[in-house]
Amino acid sequence: MRLRTTLLVALLSLVTACGGGEPTATAAEPEKPAAATPVAILRAEGGFVTASTNVLRAPRVVVYSDGLVIADAAYKMSLSEAEVAQTVDALKKYLTGQPPTASPKPGAPMVTDIPATVLAVAGDDGKLIEVKAEALDQVADFYPKELVDAKKLLDDLATKATEKNEKYTSDRVRLAAESVPTAEGKRTPWPAGVPEPSGQIDPVWQKDLTGAEVPALIKVAPPVPDAGLPIFKTASGVFVLSWRYLLPSE
């Protein structure tokens, strides 16, 4: 009898140790907040610009679903939930029903080499409604008033964010290096800790940086140089270097 009791106690202890007893509570992992998405955008496309400008061109303004507003990838401000809704509702009225590529009325003067304006807003299904208009500012009188009003609304947001002068920064940047073997000025070694171009560059080399690469770059190349773009020399050539912060949605 004593042997049976001893065996039973040992068996129960083993079952408990192996998880056969009452389940223990485990802490649930907190849900990660959904990433903010762009709900309104004003950007430029095309036009006669340099290769580096084209690589680094940021939207004039982006409004995100959480209220964050970023102008030129350089300044930021916040809108309330109500202000975001008002902005989106107004833009939907302006852009809904417009063709993806708008054309000015007959008689508009010919304008060349000017970037096209692209206006975008999140529709009821969450997808962006985009409308592109060539030379919208230059021939505004020949376009529907709704497009002019939509651009003014977004331009005003960009201006307001810029005037607040709250700098936008990120731990991710986009770098552009353009080969300029005849560049005049002080040439310094390529920034240590930053990937460098190699081989033939035509016409511009680009790279998205993150982590320790970002402060290594910023240390030697400010985003808005006071005396022109910095010149760097590598084993493969001489380059002028420019960069900007990446947006959360890029």
As given in the structure block, the two tokens for residue 229 are: 């773009």
Phi-psi region of 124 (alpha: psi -120 to 50; beta: other; left: phi over 0): alpha
Question: Taking the domains of the chain in order of start, what are their residue ranges?
Answer: 38-164, 172-245
CA distance 182 to 238: 8
Task: Note the pLDDT tens digit of each residue in 171-217.
Answer: 999 999 988 888 788 888 998 999 988 766 778 899 999 999 999 99
Listed as ranges, residues in the chain with pLDDT below 50 are 1-30, 32
As given in the structure block, the two tokens for residue 87 are: 């902005």
pLDDT at 194: 93
Q: Within 10 A of 234 (CB to CB), how many other CB atoms are there?
A: 13
pLDDT at 24: 42
pLDDT at 34: 60
CA distance 127 to 42: 16
DSSP code for 60: S
DSSP code for 47: S
Q: Which of 115, 120, 106 is nearest to 47 (CA)?
A: 115
CA distance 74 to 129: 25
pLDDT at 52: 83
Q: Which single residue is written with the structure tokens 């997808």? A: 127
CA distance 116 to 133: 6
pLDDT at 223: 67
The answer to whether 91 touches 40, Cβ cutoff 8 Å, is yes
What is the pTM assigned to this prediction? 0.82
The answer to whether 71 touches 61, Cβ cutoff 8 Å, is yes
Which SS3 state, helix, strand or coil, does residue 90 take? helix
Using the Cα atoms of residue 101, residue 106, residue 109 and residue 112 in order, give the sign of their dihedral.
positive
pLDDT at 186: 84
